[in-house]
Amino acid sequence: MIPHSFLRYFFYPFFLKNNILFKVKPSGSLRVLLFHDFDDRHIPLFYSQLYWLSSFWSFISPQMFEGMMDGRIPIEGRNLLVTFDDGFKSNLKISKEVLEPLNITAIFFVCSNFITQPTYESSKLFLKNHIQPCDGFQCIPDHWTNLSPDDIEYLIRQGHTIGAHTANHKRLTELSPSEAYYEMSIARQTLNSLFSLDVTHFAFPFGDSSSYSPEVAEMAQKLFPYIHTGFRGNNAIAPNPSLILRDSASYQYPSLKYGLFPNHHLAAFLEGSVDLIYRRSISAYSS
C-alpha cells in the first residue's frame, strides 16, 4: 500500500481544487472513513472536521449503508459512513464529544481479546504484542488502552454498530486456514455472546494488500455479510458487500500516535484523487 505521507504531498494539486470540486455535487458517492485512536488534542479538530464535511456530504447510519450496499436503498448524493478500528478507549470519548453532538452513528471494529483485557497493564501487553508490535512498553503511547465491555454496551445504547476485527489483530494471510478461520469465528462468537448481538460486519486487521487473499476472503464471507478492507475507493461504482472500500483519514507519527489529515487533503481523497492507485489491488483481491 502507498504510504500516506507520500499521498499527502504528491497530490497537493488536487487539494488546491477541493473548493471547486465541492461546488459540483455529483450523485452516486458512497465512501467510508477509517479512523483509529485519538489523543485529547485531536478531538476538537475531529469535531470540526466532521462538521465541515457535513456541509458537503451526508453522514449515514450503518443500517442505511447496508441497504445501499445490498441495493435496497438507491445511492444518491454524497454519502459517508464513519468507522473505527481496533477498540481504543479514546473511541468512547469520541462518541460522547463528537459523534453524539453531531448525530452520527458509526461502526466500531474491535478485537475481542483486546476489549476483554482486565487491566491497563494487560491492555498494554496486548497492544505491544498484537496491535502495534514493538520492543518494550515505552513505544506504546501512554494513553493507549482498551474499550471495556461496559464501554461497548454504552456505544450500542447510543445506536452504534459493533464489528469484528479478529480476536488478536492477526494478519490472517500469515496464518494457516484453520487458524485464520478461528481468529474470525471466535471474535464473532465472543462479541455475540458478550453483547447479545448478531455481528455482521468484519474488518481485516492492517491496511496493506498483503493482509488479503481470495482464500481468506472466502472464509470471511461464510461468517460475515459485510467485509471491510483498507483500500480507498467509491463503493457506489460497483457495490460489493464482501469488498467494502474505506478511506483512511488519519496517519501515524513516528511516535505511533495518530494525526488527522487536513481538511483539504481529506477532501481530495474523497474526490477519488488516489483511487486509481488502489484499483490493481482491488482487482486482484476480487478476482
Say if 70 falls within a structural domain.
Answer: yes
What tens digit of pLDDT does each residue of 190-241 get?
999 999 999 999 999 997 788 988 899 999 999 999 999 999 999 999 999 9
Domain coverage including residue 145? 28-286
CB 80 within 8 A of CB 53: yes
- Whether this model's pTM surpasses 0.75: yes
CB 130 within 8 A of CB 187: no
Say if 146 falls within a structural domain.
Answer: yes
Closest-CA residue to 28 (of 237, 246, 240, 268): 237
The backbone torsions φ and ψ at residue 80, rounded to the nearest 5 degrees and listed phi first, read -130, 135
CA distances from 173 to 33, 170, 205, 207, 209 (A): 24, 9, 10, 12, 10
CA angle (143 as vertex; 137, 144 as ends), nearest 5: 65
Please report which confidence band the pLDDT of residue 13 belongs to, taking 50, 70 and 90 as the band edges: low
Determine the residue type at 268.
A
**What are the cell numbers at 215?**
482464500
Q: How far apart are CA 96 and CA 278, in angstroms?
A: 34
Say if 126 falls within a structural domain.
Answer: yes
Say if 205 falls within a structural domain.
Answer: yes
What tens digit of pLDDT does each residue of 148-202 get?
999 999 999 999 999 999 999 999 999 999 999 999 999 999 999 999 999 999 9
Return the pLDDT at 209: 84
Say if 2 falls within a structural domain.
Answer: no
Return the pLDDT at 12: 47
User: Does residue 286 surpass a pLDDT of 80?
Assistant: no
Say if 269 falls within a structural domain.
Answer: yes
Please report which confidence band the pLDDT of residue 287 belongs to, taking 50, 70 and 90 as the band edges: low
User: Does residue 19 surpass a pLDDT of 50?
Assistant: no
Tell how strand 250-252 and strand 258-260 pair up: antiparallel
Return the pLDDT at 22: 44
CB 104 within 8 A of CB 64: no
Length of the chain: 287
User: Does residue 285 surpass a pLDDT of 80?
Assistant: no
Say if 17 falls within a structural domain.
Answer: no
Angle between helices 263-270 and 43-53 (to 10 degrees): 50
User: Does residue 18 surpass a pLDDT of 70?
Assistant: no
Domain containing 202 — which CATH number?
A: 3.20.20.370
Say if 12 falls within a structural domain.
Answer: no
Number of domains in the chain: 1
User: Does residue 280 surpass a pLDDT of 80?
Assistant: no
What tens digit of pLDDT does each residue of 54-112 get?
999 999 999 999 999 999 999 999 999 999 999 999 999 999 999 999 999 999 999 99
3-state secondary structure the chain: CCCHHHHHHHCHHHHHCHHHHHHCCCCCEEEEEEECCCCHHHHHHHHHHHHHHCCCCEECCHHHHHHHHHCCCCCCCEEEEEEEEECECHHHHHHHHHHCCCCCCCEEEECHHHHCCCCHHHHHHHHHHHHCCCCCHHHCCCCCCECCHHHHHHHHHCCCEEEECCCCCCCHHHCCHHHHHHHHHHHHHHHHHHHCCCCCEEECCCCCHHHCCHHHHHHHHCCCCEEECCCCCCCCCCCCCCCECCEECEEECCCCCEEECCHHHHHHHHCCCCHHHHHHHHHHHHC
